[in-house]
Amino acid sequence: MSAGPEERTVVRAPAKVNLYLAVGRRRADGYHDVDTVLQAVSLADEIVIEPATALSVKTDPDLGLPAEENLGYRAAAALGSAVGLEPAVAITIAKRIPAQAGLGGASTDAAAVLAGLAHRWRLGASFAPVLGEIAASLGADVPFFLGPGTARLTGRGDVLAQTLPTPLLDLAIVRPDVPVPTGAAYAAFDLLASPAPPGFDAILSACESGDASDVAAALFNNMTDASTGLAPEVGDALASVRRSPGVLGAAMAGSGSAVFAVCASAAAAAAVVSAARESGLWGTTATTVTTGVIVTEGA
């Protein structure tokens, strides 16, 4: 094991959407059983890791959190403890993924820090299981971002059940200016009588076919009623996106507040985003990608 290179390491950290999200009831351990298909997308944060005298993390723009509460900081500290190396690095996170949007921003940043440090320290493929354990300890979505771009996860959303083919999709992602705290959304979900999920077969077949219309028809998220009850603006955004020309189907990302549309073309996705921005909402186009975090610079 080596402390690795002295130059900077750059990692691309993609956002995610849920093509399928079936949440079960609360378990005895306080978590919920989850069956979900996560899809990485081209919207991404950029993480830069550089040599320093001590561990530090900053975000651009500043999220207003103490560094020690940043999931990237916690990832670096946990990995350093596991391998017996001091994470004497300065981590800068260029934030492009909006926070509290259901897009996995904090989780992908944590995965990117793990991947970047593992690369710098030349931990090798044999360390992957330990890296996965650390990732799972940080959050349910973190392990997903260390793997392929499309996957089914079960357990509390942290157990890789199946790697899936990546459908090539043009997406519009829209977010009203209102957060949906995850804990509040799950508490609201527990008070609702949710319909039975449609099952995994349709979204599996859609991913295998790669047809955008098939994927759009199979989109499912049973957190939608809970989250839109807390933040009606999310429901309004979802309804507006669904009415837009060229939209084949739409769903909420995670527990919100972002929603996304599978579109017939890149032009249709751009039109959805343009209309959303004119209405005062945040929006961006994106495409699906075939992998999670990627070290793009620094050997």
Helix (H, G, I), strand (E, B) or coil at 87: coil
Position 299 scores a pLDDT of 47
Of the residues 35, 45, 141, 158, only one is catalytic, namely: 141
Domain 170-287 has CATH 3.30.420.40: no
Catalytic member of 16, 158, 170, 214: 16
16 is catalytic: yes
- The arithmetic mean of pLDDT across residues 179-202, rounded, is 89
2 has pLDDT over 80: no
Least confident of 196-200, 219-223, 265-269: 196-200
Residue 84: what pLDDT?
95
Choose the weakest-confidence range: 29-38, 162-171, 245-254: 29-38
Residues 196-200: what's their mean pLDDT? Answer: 89
Give CA 125 to chain center in angstroms. Answer: 23
| Across 178-182, average pLDDT | 89
| 4 pLDDT more than 70 | no
| pLDDT at position 292 | 97
User: Average per-residue pLDDT in the chain?
Assistant: 93
Work out the pLDDT band at 6, boundaries 50, 70, 90: low
CB atoms near residue 83 (< 10 Å): 17
CATH of 9-165 given 3.30.1360.30, 3.30.230.10, 3.40.140.10, 3.30.70.580: 3.30.230.10
Task: Let me know if 58 is a catalytic residue.
Answer: no
User: Which has the closest alpha carbon to 109: 141, 133, 77?
Assistant: 141
At residue 5, the 3 state secondary structure works out as: coil
- Residue 101 is predicted with a pLDDT of 93
CA distance 99 to 225: 21
Report which residue type is found at 110.
A
Rounded to whole angstroms, the Cα distance separating 166 from 117 reads 27
Q: Crossing angle, helix 105-120 and helix 128-138, to 10 degrees?
A: 150
Residue 258 has pLDDT above 60, yes or no: yes
Q: Where are the domains of the chain?
A: 9-165, 170-287
